[in-house]
Amino acid sequence: MRRAAAIAILAAALIAGAPGRASDTSPADKPRVEIVTSDVDRFFALADDPALAAAPDALAARYLAAPSPGLVEFMALRRITPERLAKALRDKPDVFRDARRCAGLLGDVRTRLVAATDRLAEIYPAAQFPPITIAIGRASSAGVGNNKGVYIGLEQLCMAKFIEADDEDRFVHIIAHEYVHVQQPLAQVESADDTVLHAAVVEGAAEFVTEQMTGSVAYPLLHQWTRGREKELETAFVAEKDGKANGSRWLYNQQGKDGWPGDLGYWVGYRIAKAHYNRAPDKAAAIKAIIEMRDPTAFLAESGWSPGIKL
């Protein structure tokens, strides 16, 4: 998921939908990450009003009239306006109805994300922990981030089963992936001229660190599809690595086509990062180098990766 066309995130947990409620934990027990879900609760509370449910324009206007700070940022990044949200509510009612199912999972998602970000603090002590906001968007973006936080469109991520079939796992792994992007210097600046290699190692580094945080990558179906074809696919990647990522068959191509899955560059970049990690005698230094990478070409050369390498 790009940062500005698809992506960068988590600082002391809000209890979902209960602003101002006293905490049951001491400051020392509070998670380091704030996970804001109040916009989701507010949206469905409004949608439960039959008059508003039947009037998309009124529902959109009421919902966006009192956004959380994270939703304000999400609105700016993804051009969410009352008019655009109302259109989405009219055009895709099933998407928003189904989102309620995923909203019911957010308690367990929160618990797992707190554990994942605690793990990030262990393996990368320099990590920053801005908040995560999970809100209702206009069914156009599952996630985006910047140095202020990570912003998740619950309704869009809920329907993205092509990424990972299990809803709860998908939320945890995708949000962790986006959170890694917050830590990466290269993820903070995006250019239309980024090469396939550049984009693949940025995304692949996030995949590798996500696995260290959660026990799984965010795009596990790519690993299933590629099994046994590593050398063939990675040889093709090398031939195309210096082309532009935008418009390539490796990155940002949604679900892909003609039997070729979308975002296959994430898988190649993951394998490059893993090769680097496996080769390094100092694993803590390796994680730091993977996250703080600034020169994709040099990183590839130092990784020891080659097409079809056994990992």
Summarize pLDDT for 105-151 with one digit per residue, the tens.
999 999 999 999 999 999 999 999 999 999 999 999 999 988 899 99
276, 206, 274, 196: which is closest to 236 by C-alpha?
196
pLDDT at 28: 55
**CA–CA separation, 95 and 116 (whole Å):** 28
Q: Average pLDDT in the 69-74 region?
A: 97
Report which of residues 295 and 8 the model is more confident about.
Answer: 295
Q: How confident is the model at residue 17 (pLDDT cuts 50, 70, 90)?
A: very low
Identify whether the C-beta of residue 157 lies closer than 8 Å to the C-beta of residue 226: no
Instruction: Give the pLDDT of residue 254.
Output: 86
Q: Is the pLDDT of residue 5 over 50?
A: no
Where residue 86 falls among pLDDT bands split at 50, 70, 90? very high
- Are 205 and 291 within 8 A, CB to CB? yes
**Buried b / exposed e across 10-45, counting CB within 10 Å, b at 16+?**
bbebbbbbeeeeeeeeeeeeebbbbbbbbbbebbbe
CB count, 10 Å around CB of 215? 12
Confirm whether pTM is higher than 0.85: yes
The secondary structure element, H or E, covering residue 152 is strand 149-153
